[in-house]
Structure 1
Amino acid sequence: MKRRTLVGGIAAATAAAVAPGTAAPRRIGVSDVERLQDRFAEIVASDHRRGGQVDIEQRAAALADEALTLQNAGTATQRVRRNLYAAAAAFRSSAMWAAVDGRRYDTAEAHMRRAQTLAEMSGDQAIKFRIWSHAGTMYRHMGRPADALAANDVARNLHIARRDPQFAALGLARQGAIHGAAHAQTSATRAFDQAQDAMLRSDPDEHRPMWMLAFWDEAELHSLALSAHLSLGDYATAEFHAHRCLASLRPQMARSRAITTTRLAHAQLAQGDTDTATATAMKVPADAATEHARVSRMLREFSAALRATAPSSTAAQTWTEHTTAWRATA
């Protein structure tokens, strides 16, 4: 009896001594993943409003780190851990895209490498597709069409792109834009025709990730076709796709509207319609014109082309006054 009492007392004392310094490990669950997914939706929405900004890139990278911190914050099922890696990869891919959109390519490549590693750890086919497809777009903007095609082919050869026609359509449309940048007109036309066919075959009720639903539609297809035909020098067709894109763009796609409007102005100017082109370019909001790297660069190119083709025109004078006002408010 005394022995049992002694052993019980030692056990109780030991438990009392240990308890204050130890806590049961936290259980990481589905609610934690859902919270991160809500934050991801915020990042995507910010990108569509103000794409390319450094603060979007930094927020996305910080949230990727937050998702990884959760991996070591407690216990979780294997499914939850995979979802955490997928969330981290998604945030990194958004950081990558913000850097691409802002023409910060060295930073974008660093984000891409980290995102690719995280995506492999997650096993998530959709986020792998997003990262490799973004890589193809990045290399296209960098003027490296061979690398762009190779990266985009990785995305297109994933199982999800073979199974779901919507993923196939996005991969084909981006391939068409790459072919346009490489001045391969026949290949570009074929890719866009195939993309359109794939979209028509897709099941609209099939579950797809939020990031895809947020942007991929007929307007984006026309946007990519616009980019391709501008590169090919087929300005009338480029103008057609620009109008189709603008007519179907969702209201929240402010960044896409600014890019498309700028490209439309280029297509109109290349066809000799200086007055219409200038009026179109003046529709680009001042914040996009001065703060978005891609839009700013394209508008500088528009200014140079306008001065070269019609230096003494009323349109050129009007445009100069308009851009001066932009700089004054920037």
Structure 2
Amino acid sequence: MKNTALQEAIAAAGKPYTQIAKTINAVGAEAGQSMYYDPAAIAHWLSGTIPASTAVPVIVEAFARLLGWDLAAHDLGWPHNEAAPEDPWEGDPVAWVTRLGRDDMLNRRSLLSAGLYSLAALNLPANLRTITARSGQPRRAGASDVERIRMMSSQFATADDMFGGGHARSTVLAYLIHEVTPLLHGTTGKARPELFTAASQMTYLAAFMASDAGNAAGLAQKYYIQAVRLAEEAGDPTAKATALRGLATQAVELGHSARAVALAEEAVSTLRGKCPVRVRAWMAGMCADAHAANGNTKAALNALHQAESDVERADSIPESQWTGAYRRASLEHQTGTTLAQLADLSAAEAHLINSVHARRNIERRSRVLIAARLAGVQLRQRRPDVAAATVLELRDDLPLLASGRVTGELVKLRASWVPDRGNPTVNEADRLIASLTDR
């Protein structure tokens, strides 16, 4: 029987079958699923064939993006799908983090839906609900517990930047679900807000590591959302803005620039000016990146100017602070990526070089990622030998990193310099990348 609902959705999208199939496959890739649908598959669905249950949420999300509004399986003529993802803004954030962490560590099939990145989930509720009572064995926590969690988060964050988000991720998750979330069930009194802030920060780290490791984008998105909700329960606008910034960064990297602008601006609004100047600069830098990705040159440059002004007059950073520690090197990176998106490649290159040179030894992943982006900018200026030389300078660092973001940048470089492989330097750099990525 012909699927008229799907036919109407295709007509409303106004895209050829090839473009629809490409969008479906791209959404699947974000969720960590290899999909190879083509126009023939869409024709089969129109004739009444129902896709595999694990594919239906992916196809629904793809059509939601093509149409610009939320959909369910029945809107495409298919029965209710048990694999359909839950709304991450509903339910108990503590239960969400616990379940996500356990499933993540065990690589359970439930992650097929958890790994689906959803544009609808980027629509922030008008009012975030907080949970007033939780089931489970209550455990009391005090200032010493908060200090331990903060110290461990800082240590884990240092290891993340040394070796990439794919290293020791299961250790971070185990600490989060076995040592942190149990404390969130029964603590009351003065320690409670700081405890939830510390939990939000560690959940943010879990999100960042999942994103950097190249795991399913939706998994990182859901960790970020729960970090927002835990910060809301803590009454901590800085922790909440930090998690919103993480969502904005992810949206830029996945190509959803308009949503990134809204998230970055919401992060700034959340702070209401009540935060360290350096944190405000961090948020302004993200706004610049998002506006540039969205094609708004004036807004991007204004935000960059604000970030630079704030960095210039920011106080020194406490050694224990690992979120919002926006240094000059970070501003140089954000300026470089912003200008690259605005096609000011020469200036972008200069700022990225400054950022690479200013990075400390413990910032290996950041330094390598920025250098890879620098090579991309150099290649866009048709200087493949210079880009290749930049990559070759990383030969000692690259084998130590487990970072999907770094790998992604390197793979893009290889694809872009194919015509230049006759150049000896390009050939050498190409072999280096191949030895690390063709596994």
Report TM bin, short chain: 0.7 to 0.9
Aligned equivalents of 1:141, 1:189: Cα separation in 2 = 19
Is 1:45 the counterpart of 2:45? The answer is no
Residue 85 (structure 1) shift = 1.4
Aligned equivalents of 1:239, 1:221: Cα separation in 2 = 14
Aligned equivalents of 1:148, 1:246: Cα separation in 2 = 25
* Counterpart position of 2:270: 158
Aligned equivalents of 1:327, 1:53: Cα separation in 2 = 14
Residues 238 and 105 of structure 1: CA distance in aligned 2, closer, same or farther (over 3 Å): same
Structure showing greater radius of gyration is: 1
* Counterpart position of 1:64: 176
* Counterpart position of 2:422: 312
* Counterpart position of 2:338: 228
* Counterpart position of 1:111: 223
Residues 288 and 271 of structure 1: CA distance in aligned 2, closer, same or farther (over 3 Å): farther
Query: How do residues 246-257 of structure 1 correspond to structure 2 at under 5 angstroms?
Result: 246-257=356-367
Instruction: Check conservation: 2:238, 2:275, Cα contact below 8 A.
Output: no
* Counterpart position of 1:10: none
Residue 38 (structure 1) shift = 1.4
Instruction: Check conservation: 1:229, 1:235, Cα contact below 8 A.
Output: yes
Instruction: Check conservation: 1:261, 1:283, Cα contact below 8 A.
Output: no
Aligned equivalents of 1:317, 1:68: Cα separation in 2 = 50
Aligned equivalents of 2:183, 2:351: Cα separation in 1 = 45
Aligned equivalents of 1:131, 1:26: Cα separation in 2 = 26
Instruction: Check conservation: 1:93, 1:115, Cα contact below 8 A.
Output: yes
Residue 211 (structure 1) shift = 1.9
Residue 187 (structure 1) shift = 2.2
Aligned equivalents of 1:283, 1:183: Cα separation in 2 = 33
Residue 306 (structure 1) shift = 1.1
Whichever residue aligns with residue 427 of structure 2, its letter is: Q
Instruction: Check conservation: 2:241, 2:270, Cα contact below 8 A.
Output: yes
* Counterpart position of 1:201: 313
Residues 324 and 85 of structure 1: CA distance in aligned 2, closer, same or farther (over 3 Å): closer
* Counterpart position of 1:300: 411
> Which of 377, 382, 390 is the matching residue for 1:272?
382
Q: Give identity over the alignment, percent.
A: 24
> Which of 239, 244, 249 is the matching residue for 2:349?
239
Whichever residue aligns with residue 130 of structure 1, its letter is: T
CA distances 1:187-228 after superposition (whole Å, capped 9, x unpaired): 2222111110122233337x7971236x42000111111212
Higher helix content, 1 or 2: 1
Aligned equivalents of 1:101, 1:327: Cα separation in 2 = 16
Give SS of 2:284's match: helix
Give SS of 2:356's match: helix
Instruction: Check conservation: 2:281, 2:326, Cα contact below 8 A.
Output: no
CA distances 1:61-113 after superposition (whole Å, capped 9, x unpaired): 3333322312446xx55121222211211111111111222333110121122
* Counterpart position of 1:258: 368
CA distances 1:149-176 after superposition (whole Å, capped 9, x unpaired): 1111121012364553222211111111
* Counterpart position of 2:244: 132
Residues 221 and 182 of structure 1: CA distance in aligned 2, closer, same or farther (over 3 Å): same
Aligned equivalents of 1:320, 1:43: Cα separation in 2 = 32
* Counterpart position of 2:91: none
TM-score (norm. length: structure 1): 0.82
Aligned equivalents of 1:97, 1:44: Cα separation in 2 = 10
Aligned equivalents of 1:189, 1:271: Cα separation in 2 = 22
* Counterpart position of 1:92: 203
Query: How do residues 16-31 of structure 1 correspond to structure 2 at under 5 angstroms?
Result: 28-31=141-144
> Which of 292, 298, 301 is the matching residue for 1:186?
298
Instruction: Check conservation: 1:68, 1:85, Cα contact below 8 A.
Output: no
Aligned equivalents of 2:261, 2:432: Cα separation in 1 = 39
Give SS of 1:78's match: coil
Instruction: Check conservation: 2:181, 2:199, Cα contact below 8 A.
Output: yes
Alignment: residue pair count: 298
> Which of 143, 168, 171 is the matching residue for 2:280?
168
Whichever residue aligns with residue 184 of structure 1, its letter is: N
Give SS of 1:171's match: helix
Is 1:177 the counterpart of 2:289? The answer is yes
Residues 36 and 311 of structure 1: CA distance in aligned 2, closer, same or farther (over 3 Å): closer
Residues 142 and 323 of structure 1: CA distance in aligned 2, closer, same or farther (over 3 Å): closer
Residue 27 (structure 1) shift = 5.5
Give SS of 2:191's match: helix
TM-score (norm. length: structure 2): 0.63
